Amino acid sequence: MRIDPAATKTRSISLTPLIDVVFLLLVFFMLASTFLKYSGIDLATASTGEAAADKGPVIVVRVLGAGRLEIDGAAAAIDEFGTRLATTPALSAAATIAVQPAGDATVEDIALAVETARRAPARAVVIVR
């Protein structure tokens, strides 16, 4: 006597649990993310090949790191940068302030120097290498 094996039912894979898990992950990441407005610093772009004499005086500010910087070669602390920049003889409405970060300068010092330079009565603030 021959006994045939019972026919197995083939089940289709249900996608409902997968959709539920994806929905829960989506809700979790939407609620866990921060909705902050990230603001940038507006800078003028440095252009190459143009005559610097037409642009007015250029004040070079080197950010050295550890709270130190140089304004046209004169050493200064980052705390007194605003007052030292205001007393710079070359500062005028036609001047360009070029911020040049050194290799060990922190982002905080660079951002503080750029923000302080933007408050000065200068035509533009640029970051150079």
- pLDDT at residue 58, as a whole number: 85
In this structure, are residues 75 and 113 in contact, taking their beta carbons and an 8 Å threshold? no
Instruction: Give CA 79 to chain center in angstroms.
Output: 22
Residue 122: closest CA among 44, 41, 40, 39: 44
Contacts of 60 (CB under 8 A, 6+ apart): 70, 71, 72, 73, 98, 100
Backbone angles phi, psi at 62, to 5 degrees: -95, 125
CB atoms within 10 A of CB 109: 21
The CA distance from 54 to 51, in Å, is 6
- pLDDT at residue 26, as a whole number: 93
CB atoms within 10 A of CB 114: 20
- pLDDT at residue 25, as a whole number: 94
The β-bridge partners of 70 are 62, 75
- pLDDT at residue 53, as a whole number: 47
Tokens of 43: 């800078």
Instruction: Give CA 5 to chain center in angstroms.
Output: 69
- pLDDT at residue 46, as a whole number: 57
Block means of pLDDT (10 residues each) for the chain, 129 residues, are 76 83 92 70 58 69 84 83 81 82 86 84 82
